[in-house]
Amino acid sequence: MKNVFIIGSKGIPANYGGFETFVEYLTKYKVSDDIKYHVACLSDHEEEFEHNQARCFKVQVPNIGPAKAVYYDIAALKAVYQYVVDHNIEEGIVYILACRIGPFLKKYVKMFHTKNIQVFVNPDGHEFKRAKWNWFIRQYWKLSERLMIKNADYVVCDSQNIEKYIQEDYKKYQPQTTFIAYGADVVDNSDEEKFEVWAKEHEISKNEYYLIVGRFVPENNYETMIREFMNSNTKKDLVIVTGYQESKLYHILNNKYHFENDQRVKFVGTIYDDALLKSVRKNAFAYLHGHEVGGTNPSLLEALGSTSLNLLLNVGFNQEVGLDSCIYWGKEKNNLKHLIEHVETFDQDYIDTLGKAAKDRVKNAYSWTKIVSDYESLFLRKKDL
C-alpha cells in the first residue's frame, strides 16, 4: 500500500478552488487499491474523517494574515511526519501543492527521507507575478519556489509551459519533472430552468452575451477586456461572473471607463451552483479568457467543455490548452475590439465546429479519468531516494 499525503489545498469535500477540486476528483475517481490518500484540511477543529475513501485530517491554524498559508503547510507537514512515525509507515509520498514553504522544506525532506518517504511538489503557476503581492512578498515567492524545486524529489507540473520554465530557470538543480494536466468534465449537468430564472433576473438573453468567469484581479486582464468590449459596436452584453463588491480594482476601472453607464456591461456576482454556471457557460455566445499568470486554468477547461466560441489571450498557457479549437487575441489597443466585431460575422456551422473541437480537446487531454490514471501511475512508480 502506497500512502500519499496531500497538503496545500484547503481540503475536501470541495466545490470550489482549483487545488481543492483537484483533490476532490483525485480521490473520488481513485481506481487503484494500492493507494491510500491522506488529505490535510484547513480547520478550526481537530478531528479526522473519511471522504472518497481518503483519510482527511484537520490542521488548526491561527488567523495570522498572509502568513497563514505558510503556517498551514508547515503544520500539515509536522502532522504528516508524526503520523508516519506513529504508524510505522515505511514507504510513501508527500505531495505539496504550491511553493509556499521553500525556506523550510530542506529540513522536512531530510526527515521524511529517513522514513523512505519522498516529497513531490506542484509549483502551480507564477505566483510571484501576481499584482496583489507587494515587492517583498513577490521576492519571497520567487525564493520559495527556487528552494522548493531545489529540494523536492519530484516536480509535477500541470502545464507544459510551467514544466519548460522549471527546467530552464532551475537547470542547475537538475529537477526531475513530469507534466500531468489539471482535469475537467464535459458532462452536461446544466439546468435550463435555473438559467431562465437567472437570465430574467439579470435581463440577459440566451446566446446574446459574452461571458467572463474568474477572479477580479489585474493579471486576468479585466481592464483590457472591458475597455475593448465597450469600444466595440456589439449589441450583445458582457456578463462578468466574479466577486467584485469588495474589489478596489472594480472602482478604479469604473472611474476610468464608467462601465456602470454602459447597459451592456453586467457584473452578476459569483455563481456557486454548478448546474447554473454550466448553463450560463453553455448559453453564452462567446467566452472571454484573459488569464495570464498560472498553468492550466480550471475556468478555461470548463469553458472549453461548455461554450462553443472561446476567445483567449494569446499567451503560452492558453494556447497550449486551446490549440486550434479557440481564437486568440492580444492586449494591443483595438485588437480584441476588432475580434469581437469579426466573430459576430461567423456562421453557426463554423461556431459549432469550434465548439466540438473544444469539447474533444477536453475529453482527449483533460478528462479527470485520464488525469487520475496519470497520477496513480506516477505515485505507484518505484523511485529510488
Residue 238 dihedral angles phi and psi, to the nearest 5°:
-115, 110
Do 375 and 309 fall into the same domain? no
Q: Do both 157 and 208 map to the same domain?
A: no
Domain identity same for 303 and 340: yes
**Do 373 and 357 share a structural domain?**
no
Sequence-ordered list of residues with C-beta below 8 angstroms from that of 18, at least 6 positions apart, any chain: 182, 297, 298
Q: Are residues 268 and 304 in the same domain?
A: yes
Read off the C-alpha cell for 129. Answer: 507575478
Name the residue among 345, 346, 351, 311 with its Cα closest to residue 331. Answer: 311
Beta bridge partners of 240: 212, 267
Query: Any idea what the CATH number is for the domain that residue 78 is in?
Result: 3.40.50.2000
Residue 210 falls within a domain, yes or no? yes
Residues 304 and 227 placed together within one structural domain of the fold: yes
| Distance between CA atoms of residues 310 and 321, nearest Å | 12
Q: How many domains does the chain have?
A: 2
Cα–Cα distance between 268 and 270 in angstroms, integer? 7
Query: Which grid coordinates belong to 166?
Result: 522549471
Q: Do you find a cis peptide bond into 13, omega within 30 degrees of 0?
A: yes
385 falls within a domain: no
**What is the predicted pLDDT for the residue at 47?**
80
**177/204 same-domain check:** no
Do 96 and 161 sit in the same domain of this protein?
yes
**Distance, CA of 174 to CA of 154 (rounded, Å):** 10
What DSSP designation does 184 have?
B
Task: Give the pLDDT confidence score for residue 168 in this predicted structure.
Answer: 94
Is there a single domain that holds both residue 375 and residue 321?
A: no
| 4 bridge partner residues | 37, 93
> 214 with 346, same domain?
yes
Residue 288 forms part of a structural domain: yes
Task: Compute the distance between CA of residue 71 and CA of residue 8 in angstroms, rounded to an integer.
Answer: 11
Ranges of beta strands (E only) in 197-300 are 209-213, 237-241, 265-269, 286-289
Joined together, the cell numbers standing for residue 57 give 485530517
Place of cell 479549437: 325
Order of strands across the sheet with 327-329? 265-269, 237-241, 209-213, 286-289, 310-313, 327-329
The answer as to whether 372 is a domain residue is yes
**DSSP-based helix, strand, coil % in the chain, nearest 5:** 45, 20, 35
| Cα–Cα dist 152/284, whole Å | 43
User: Does 237 lie in the same domain as 347?
Assistant: yes
- β-strand pairing of 48-51 with 54-60: antiparallel
Query: How many Å separate Cα 70 from the centre of its chain?
Result: 19
Query: Does residue 352 form part of some domain?
Result: yes
How confident is the model at residue 167, as a pLDDT? 96
Same domain as 222, residue 162 = no
- pLDDT tens string, the chain, 385 residues long: the values are 999 999 999 999 876 678 898 999 999 999 999 999 999 999 866 689 999 999 999 998 888 877 888 899 999 999 999 999 999 998 899 999 988 999 999 999 999 999 999 999 999 765 555 666 666 777 787 899 999 999 999 999 998 988 998 999 999 999 999 999 988 877 788 899 999 999 999 999 999 999 999 989 898 999 999 999 999 999 999 999 999 887 899 999 999 999 999 999 999 999 989 899 999 999 999 999 999 877 778 889 999 999 999 999 999 889 999 999 999 999 999 999 999 999 999 999 999 999 999 999 999 999 999 999 999 999 998 666 5
* Domain, as residue range, for 37: 2-183+367-380
CA distance 148 to 355: 39
Q: Is residue 69 part of a domain?
A: yes
What is d(CA 298, CA 17) in angstroms, rounded to the nearest whole number? 9
